[in-house]
Each structure stands twice: as structure tokens, then as C-alpha cells.
Amino acid sequence: MAILKIARMGHPVLLAQAMPVADVAACELVRLVGDMVETLADAGGVGLAAPQVFRGVRLFIYHVPGSRADDGADMAMRVVFNPVVTPLGDEMVMGWEGCLSIPGLRAAVPRFARVRLAAQDETGAGFEVEASGFEARVIQHEADHLDGVMYPMRMRDFRYFGFNEEISRSGLEIPEDADAD
């Protein structure tokens, strides 16, 4: 396993449409998944999409720490190939997001409150998950990377975009009436 370099905002790989994966069990993809897991652990993030490590394929990984989970339990790493994300309702919620490709910054981003994820796992088996809360946000964020979309493109109010340290130090909060619709 290897720790991979993470592409930063401004690199064209992050703006391109990723290609579907035909054979998720191909040796190079098995290795890529392992390297992505190691890279994510090293970077301290919760999700990582293949374009972020300069691979233009429809793959992302994510996990949810217990501190961010609706039920308080850690969710193990999930490998997601060829995802299809479908909103479950029209409700949108604003929440803070950061990105390993935009280090040191975060912003208030609107996302669907609930989504269904249909995809393939690392064995090629199909699965479906209904997600809400932080998990739904992470799924949408990572799936966006596969379509060349980064979170600043989803922002509606740039007053809630800044450096992590400044936002934490100031206690900046997203107002209840922030425009999530």
C-alpha cells in the first residue's frame, strides 16, 4: 500500500467527468482502493474520491466517525464504485464542508437531507443504502467529485467560507434561516 498525492483545487482532474468502472475486481483497482484507504487515513479525512488521487474513475471511499453519526456508532469504511445518488425528498440542509483537495478551508454548503445510494462494492456486488445526516452529506460530496464538481460550486453565500482556524476561533455559525433551498 502507498500514500498517494492528493490533487488540489485548480488541477483539471478535479473538473473532469470520471469514467464508469467495468471490472471493479481488476488488480489495479484493488491496489487503488487499498492506496486510497491508506491515503485517507494519513490525511485524516472521512471521504476520498478517485479523481482526488489523479484517477478518473467512478470510485470513492468514505466512513462516518461515531462523533458525526446519527446513532453515535462508527461506520466502517465503505467502498463505492459507479454510484447513483438519488435525493429522497426535497428537503435541503446547510452544513459545514471541507475537502482534502481544498486544504485549510471550509464553507456552508446546501445538500439534500436524505439520499439513496445505489452502487457496487469492492467485490462488484450491488448494494443500496438510504442515508441522512452527515453520511448523506459525505455521499453527495464524494459523488460530486466524480462529476467534476467541488463544494465551492454548490455554495450560495460566500460569507460562510473561510479558513478552518478563523471559523473555529470566531465561532461562526450557519444561521437557522440560511438559504438551503
At the topology level, CATH places domain 12-170 in Peptide Deformylase (3.90.45)
* Residue 142: active-site member: yes
pLDDT confidence tier of residue 180, bands split at 50, 70 and 90: low
The residues spanned by each domain of the chain are 12-170
- What pTM, to 2 d.p., does this model score? 0.95
pLDDT tens-digit readout, 140-150: 999 999 999 99
Catalytic position from the list 135, 142, 165, 173:
142
Any long-range contacts for 112-116 (C-beta under 8 Å, 24+ apart)? 112/87, 112/88, 112/136, 112/140, 113/89, 114/87, 114/88, 114/89, 115/85, 115/86, 115/87, 115/88, 115/139, 115/140, 116/85, 116/86, 116/88
